[in-house]
């Protein structure tokens, strides 16, 4: 640690080191569980569904995840943790006492010392899940030390294997049982997450390049297993002692840029079938009263959202636990602020906060940020949790998952017990002799809520294709989201370039800020597979007598072509990129949409605010953009002033 003047940094370090910035059971919830009750709860195991009755790969349609047949696939998931590490970071890693809640996973998914993989998976099927979030660490990928015999005592065929080889076996058994698997890069190092522990960012303990390479390795490793359906890019991005992560600043701490880049690389270089899952930011600021601090979650996506090279592959995710809050780390004692925890909120307040922080992404349709939201972690203590607020929060949260028809993953699925006592957060527990207890043994208060959640109705069956809306954000460099253009030479060297994903056309631009909006609304894919593209840098295609922006420089596509991209130098327009449409698809009558002095987007335009705080212009849903105008007169920065919008045929 670099010495500095004053006590603030020392205070902050102490606070952060003691503050559980991640959801993990707090001390009260980890107390020994009570004896088994003789009173049966009014719940029973969910009707066992055929987890294999779906067709991979998965993709998205608006706010829904669908399978290859176009049927809604709701992620009813749980987390099988352990491979990302359970060691607390101090003391002998071989001593169970130095692991979270005394549960030593042995660097592999928890419980393989106590039950066979087949038995554990049978438990998953019994409680009704259809998918598993399977955490791993970057260290695990490269760990060549064989696991101990004790760690796989109930699975002797795994003796002598490395942690990655055991992970392989678990993935294979899960998918063979028909369950979907989401790979989750949980930590850099193989230790318990998540405080100030070297795992705060994707590049906290290794370079961004190494992190990206690890993801390409993992995506390629399971490419031939179609039931490995998703890449959950990183868990709970949060503050280090000194620095915050951010969403869009373009530096080495920019989670938006890092996740955007690695997501595109996975799809283009490793496995184009995977869902790319981006979690919001878990924590920024100094967790001390009087200093700014918050849990941003997905709120930044409203102003700056991801656009992948393949539409229909983005899923956003968020985590919620009762003892954290929108401005509360979850700490108790030292490091605890006076902010309310989620469990302190009334049901009405809780719903408002949840919607603001995450659920708006699915609730608001036809926006650039519209996508499925997967609540990839939530949970609560079980048999020994007697707190009225904790229990009420869980019931209210489950109600909101049902109300919003959300995808979800409970944390965790697997735990240890001795004499029905231990860390009670898991849904399934095994003791050292291999005896299992589950939520339907009659003494787990969560059983009825869990059954209600698993058996909730919600959307099912076919989901019709919807229009995609995508933001272009060449804020700090190229933002070329077209596979076709990525495969071609640089079409405007030295400029920052932005191109819509293949199948979409440019519909909107901002006057300043360089943002754009793309969609396939009303027309579907317009780019003729046999047609080419043209870079326009002058007015050669402006028809004499049809000057649609007199006195302004106009970059106009030739007839039969439409705008799919643009380039800028600084904030100035550099070139327009036009693609060829099939004959007869594009009309020639047009209108000028000015947006140099205010928004001009029509009264019923979709897509959302794609350039917050800037003037924007947008063509109508039944139009295409055929040109952009700007001026270089004194006082102007050659930023876009007008769009030429023509009717589709």
Contact 350, 393 (CB under 8 A): yes
Q: pLDDT tier at 8 (50, 70, 90 boundaries)? A: very low
φ, ψ at 174 (rounded to 5°): -60, -50
**Model confidence over 152-169: pLDDT tens digits?**
999 999 999 999 999 999
Task: Give yes or no: residues 322 and 374 share one domain.
Answer: yes
Task: Give yes or no: residues 430 and 502 share one domain.
Answer: no
Domain count, the chain: 2
In the listed set 431, 455, 479, which residue is the last one of a domain according to the structure? 455
User: CA torsion angle for 94, 97, 103, 108 (degrees, to 10)?
Assistant: -20
State the average pLDDT over residues 246-258: 98
Rounded to whole angstroms, the Cα distance separating 553 from 641 reads 10
In a domain, 609, yes or no: yes
Task: Give yes or no: residues 114 and 232 share one domain.
Answer: yes
**Model confidence over 181-199: pLDDT tens digits?**
999 999 999 999 887 888 9
Which whole-number Å values give the CA distances from 387 to 40, 264, 379, 544, in the listed order? 20, 44, 14, 77
Task: Give yes or no: residues 434 and 333 share one domain.
Answer: yes
Which whole-number Å values give the CA distances from 6 to 2, 10, 284, 562, in the listed order? 13, 8, 22, 60
What was the pLDDT predicted at 51?
A: 58
Task: Give yes or no: residues 201 and 342 share one domain.
Answer: yes
Mean pLDDT taken over the chain: 92
Rounded to whole angstroms, the Cα distance separating 610 from 514 reads 10
Helices 447-454, 388-404: crossing angle, 10 deg rounding: 10
State the average pLDDT over residues 34-48: 46
Task: Give yes or no: residues 568 and 446 share one domain.
Answer: no
Domain enclosing residue 214, as ranges? 61-455
Q: Which helix (H) or strand (E) holds 317?
A: strand 314-321
What was the pLDDT predicted at 485?
A: 97
Neighbours of 388 (CB within 10 A): 8
In a domain, 175, yes or no: yes
Please determine, for residue 19, whether its predicted confidence score (pLDDT) is greater than 80. no
Contact 142, 136 (CB under 8 A): no
Q: What angle do CA 215, 500, 482 make, to 5 degrees?
A: 50
Looking at 127-230, list the stretches that DSSP marks H as alpha helix, in order from N- to C-terminal side.
Answer: 138-142, 163-176, 208-221
In a domain, 462, yes or no: no
Dihedral (CA of 627, 632, 637, 642) sign: negative
In the listed set 455, 485, 519, which residue is the last one of a domain according to the structure? 455
What was the pLDDT predicted at 146?
A: 98
CATH number at residue 407: 3.20.20.80
In a domain, 364, yes or no: yes
In a domain, 13, yes or no: no
In a domain, 484, yes or no: yes
Which of 20-29, 212-221, 293-302 has the lowest average pLDDT? 20-29
What was the pLDDT predicted at 13?
A: 37
Q: pLDDT tier at 47 (50, 70, 90 boundaries)? A: low
Nearest residue to 151 (alpha-carbon basis) of 142, 143, 160: 160
Q: pLDDT tier at 300 (50, 70, 90 boundaries)? A: very high
Task: Give yes or no: residues 570 and 634 share one domain.
Answer: yes
- Rounded to the nearest angstrom, the gap between the alpha carbon of residue 447 and the centroid of all alpha carbons in its chain is 28
Please determine, for residue 377, whether its predicted confidence score (pLDDT) is greater than 50. yes
**Model confidence over 80-129: pLDDT tens digits?**
999 999 999 999 999 999 999 999 999 999 999 999 999 999 999 999 99
**Model confidence over 600-627: pLDDT tens digits?**
999 888 999 999 999 999 999 999 999 9
What was the pLDDT predicted at 238?
A: 96
Q: What angle do CA 177, 408, 222 make, to 5 degrees?
A: 45
In a domain, 464, yes or no: no
Rounded to whole angstroms, the Cα distance separating 283 from 142 reads 29
φ, ψ at 229 (rounded to 5°): -110, -15
In a domain, 52, yes or no: no
Rounded to whole angstroms, the Cα distance separating 568 from 531 reads 25
Which whole-number Å values give the CA distances from 369 to 34, 87, 229, 606, in the listed order? 45, 37, 21, 12
In the listed set 455, 482, 512, which residue is the last one of a domain according to the structure? 455
Q: What is the pTM of this model?
A: 0.93
* Tally of CA atoms within 13 A in the half-sphere of 16 that contains its CB: 23
What was the pLDDT predicted at 52?
A: 62
Rounded to whole angstroms, the Cα distance separating 241 from 257 reads 22
Task: Give yes or no: residues 123 and 248 share one domain.
Answer: yes
Beta carbons within 8 Å of 342's beta carbon, 6+ residues apart:
320, 321, 322, 323, 324, 325, 326, 350, 353, 393, 397
Q: pLDDT tier at 460 (50, 70, 90 boundaries)? A: very high
Task: Give yes or no: residues 195 and 295 share one domain.
Answer: yes
Task: Give yes or no: residues 446 and 595 share one domain.
Answer: no
**Which residue spans within 151-267 are E strands per DSSP?**
180-187, 228-232
Please determine, for residue 550, whether its predicted confidence score (pLDDT) is greater than 50. yes
Task: Give yes or no: residues 386 and 499 share one domain.
Answer: no
What was the pLDDT predicted at 23?
A: 38
Task: Give yes or no: residues 99 and 142 share one domain.
Answer: yes
């Amino acid at each position: 640690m670099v010495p500095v003047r004053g006590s603030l940094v020392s205070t902050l370090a102490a606070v952060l080191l003691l503050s559980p910035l991640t959801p993990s059971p707090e001390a009260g919830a980890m107390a020994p569980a009570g004896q088994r009750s003789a009173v049966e709860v009014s719940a029973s195991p969910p009707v066992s569904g055929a987890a294999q009755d779906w067709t991979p790969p998965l993709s998205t349609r608006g706010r829904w995840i669908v399978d290859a047949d176009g049927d809604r696939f709701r992620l009813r998931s749980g987390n099988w943790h352990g491979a990302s590490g359970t060691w607390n970071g101090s003391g002998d890693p071989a001593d169970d006492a130095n692991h979270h809640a005394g549960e030593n996973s042995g660097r592999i998914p928890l419980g393989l010392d106590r039950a066979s993989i087949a038995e554990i998976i049978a438990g998953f099927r019994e409680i009704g899940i259809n998918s598993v979030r399977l955490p791993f660490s970057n260290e695990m990928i490269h760990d060549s030390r064989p696991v101990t015999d004790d760690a796989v005592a109930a699975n002797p065929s795994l003796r002598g294997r490395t942690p990655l080889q055991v992970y392989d076996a678990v993935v294979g058994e899960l998918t063979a049982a028909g369950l979907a698997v989401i790979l989750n890069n949980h930590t850099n190092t193989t230790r318990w997450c998540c405080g100030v522990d070297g795992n705060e960012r994707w590049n906290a303990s290794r370079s961004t390049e190494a992190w990206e390479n690890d993801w390409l390795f993992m995506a390629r490793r399971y490419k031939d297993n179609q039931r490995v359906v998703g890449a959950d890019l990183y868990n709970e991005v949060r503050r280090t002692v000194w620095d915050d992560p951010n969403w869009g600043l373009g530096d080495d701490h920019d989670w938006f840029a890092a996740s955007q880049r690695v997501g595109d690389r996975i799809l283009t270089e490793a496995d184009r079938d995977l869902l790319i899952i981006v979690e919001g930011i878990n924590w920024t600021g100094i967790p001390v009263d009087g200093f700014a601090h918050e849990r941003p979650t997905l709120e930044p996506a409203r102003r700056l959202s991801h656009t992948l090279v393949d539409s229909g592959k983005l899923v956003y995710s968020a985590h919620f636990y009762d003892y954290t809050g929108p401005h509360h780390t979850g700490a108790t004692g030292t490091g605890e602020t006076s902010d309310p925890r989620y469990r302190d909120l009334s049901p009405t307040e809780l719903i408002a906060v949840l919607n603001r922080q995450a659920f708006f992404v699915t609730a608001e349709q036809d926006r650039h940020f519209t996508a499925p939201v997967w609540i990839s972690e939530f949970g609560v203590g079980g048999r020994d949790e007697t707190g009225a607020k904790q229990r009420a929060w869980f019931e209210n949260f489950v109600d909101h998952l049902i109300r919003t028809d959300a995808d979800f993953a409970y944390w965790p699925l697997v735990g240890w017990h001795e004499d029905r006592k231990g860390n009670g957060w898991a849904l399934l527990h095994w003791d050292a002799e291999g005896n299992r207890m589950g939520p339907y043994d009659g003494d787990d208060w969560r059983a009825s809520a869990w059954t209600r959640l698993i058996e909730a109705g919600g959307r099912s069956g076919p989901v019709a294709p919807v229009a995609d809306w995508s933001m272009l954000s060449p804020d700090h460099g190229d933002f070329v989201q077209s596979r076709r253009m990525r495969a071609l030479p640089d079409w405007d060297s030295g400029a920052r370039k932005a191109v819509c994903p293949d199948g979409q056309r440019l519909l909107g631009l901002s006057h300043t800020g360089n943002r754009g909006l793309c969609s396939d609304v009303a027309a579907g894919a317009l780019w003729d597979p046999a047609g080419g593209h043209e870079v326009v840098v002058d007015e050669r295609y402006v028809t004499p007598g049809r000057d649609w922006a007199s006195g302004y420089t106009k970059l106009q596509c030739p007839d039969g072509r439409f705008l799919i991209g643009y380039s800028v130098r600084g904030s100035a327009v550099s070139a327009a990129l036009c693609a060829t449409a099939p004959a007869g698809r594009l009309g020639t009558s047009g209108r000028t949409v000015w947006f140099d002095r205010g928004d001009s987007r029509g009264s019923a335009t979709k897509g959302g605010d794609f350039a917050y705080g800037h003037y924007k212009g947008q063509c109508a849903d039944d139009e295409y953009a055929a040109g952009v105008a700007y001026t270089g007169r004194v006082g102007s920065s050659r930023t876009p002033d007008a769009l030429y919008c023509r009717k589709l045929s």
